[in-house]
Amino acid sequence: MNYIDLRSDSVTQPTQEMRDAMYTALVGDDEYGDDPTVKRLEQLCARKVGKEAGLFVASGTMGNQLAVMTHTVRGDEIIISSGSHIVVHEVGAAAVLSGVMVRALECQDDMLTPDLIEKACRPAEDYMSPRTSLVCLENALTNGKVMPLKKMKACYDKAKEHNLPVHLDGARLFNAAVSLGVDATEVTQYCDSVMVCLSKGLCAPVGSVLCGSKEFIEKARRNRKILGGGMRQAGLVAACGIIALEKMVDRLKDDHDNAKYMAQRLNKMKDVKVLMDNVDVNMVFFKLERPREFIHALPGKMLEHGIKMAGEEGGLLRFITNNDVSRPDVERVCDVFEKILKESE
């Protein structure tokens, strides 16, 4: 059965062009720094986000954690939104790997503000407090919203008042740029380092790129080795990342349009309340006013119709559109979902 998979935008299949590129990729040994395809990917990504250098890593989590490791020393504290991916979905890695404290702040829409950053910064002269050493932002956010450039700039400027670097979790950076109608560099001008995921929405089978200054990336490269992230003939997968950056960014608007269409249809259904203000990119979050037993059984019921969906998290269900989900697929999902709802009344 060919499933319609809406669990995430990380479930996409590599395109045929990517598969062909893997077959013909020139490779070396990335540990020795002589894999030409990896080097090309790193340079391409750095250029696209306006940074000096890039480092190919296995995952977005590795990229974010390398950034934390490289910007901080053990015992430091980072400032971040409590709903961010680094806090919620990275298994407490900042504490385990970097030995840092996390100042996780409750924020409206999970977006930090200059006032929150100001209040969270520890006095430099207070030797009994951890040293504030990093501010982490996210764009697009995991709640489906995009942080406006004006808000990013305000946070960046406040961080600089305290001589703090800013790391951007840009797993869906290009979704944010497309949604804002700007080049990615307009977003990344407000950070010192950025992690870009190649396998979320852009269809590469694996990998992310951490970008920043040359000095920062050289330190991160050493830390990557500490994490066991050094790779050999990684050009085989880096070749897919090049196509992801060159060919798959512009089409993200299709995913956004499909998500907006799906949100409008779902929101008309009985007992469904879509968070319409959160449909900035390709993510549709909604509440379902049905018994707990029904909600828990819903993914299984959808699967019987060839549709994969994630289970409830934090009181919300979600659908995430991607390259492998067409507008007719969206129509079918909505039809099946509505049918299941009506049958259970």
The tens digit of pLDDT for each residue in 72-113 reads: 999 999 999 999 999 999 999 999 999 999 999 999 999 999
CATH 3.40.640.10-classified regions of the chain: 16-247
Write down the pLDDT at residue 288: 97
Residue 126's pLDDT band, with cuts at 50, 70 and 90, is confident
The tens digit of pLDDT for each residue in 25-50 reads: 999 999 999 999 999 999 999 999 99
Residue with tokens 């819903």, as numbered in its chain? 298
**How many other CB atoms are found less than 10 A from the CB of residue 134?**
25
Please state, for a pLDDT cut of 90, what percent of the chain lies above it.
98
> In the predicted model, is pLDDT for residue 125 greater than 90?
no
CATH class entry, domain 251-343 = alpha beta
Spatial distance between the Cα atoms of 248 and 52, rounded to a whole number of angstroms: 23
- Fold annotation for 16-247: Aspartate Aminotransferase; domain 2 (3.40.640)
Write down the pLDDT at residue 344: 86
> In the predicted model, is pLDDT for residue 66 greater than 80?
yes
Spatial distance between the Cα atoms of 103 and 120, rounded to a whole number of angstroms: 7
Packing angle of the helix pair 173-180, 252-267 (nearest 10 deg) = 80
For residues 50-69, average pLDDT: 98
Write down the pLDDT at residue 1: 72
Mean pLDDT, the chain, as a whole number?
97
Write down the pLDDT at residue 345: 80
Contact predicate 321/258, CB 8 Å: yes
Spatial distance between the Cα atoms of 77 and 135, rounded to a whole number of angstroms: 9
Spacing of C-alpha 318 from chain mean position: 16
CATH 3.90.1150.10-classified regions of the chain: 251-343
Write down the pLDDT at residue 124: 85
- From the list 271, 241, 259, 257, the residue with the least C-alpha distance to 345 is 271
- From the list 51, 27, 4, 31, the residue with the least C-alpha distance to 240 is 27
The tens digit of pLDDT for each residue in 195-211 reads: 999 999 999 999 999 99
Write down the pLDDT at residue 150: 98
Write down the pLDDT at residue 273: 98
For residues 269-283, average pLDDT: 98
> ω before 53 within 30° of 0 (cis)?
no
Spatial distance between the Cα atoms of 260 and 335, rounded to a whole number of angstroms: 16
- From the list 248, 285, 342, 177, the residue with the least C-alpha distance to 12 is 248
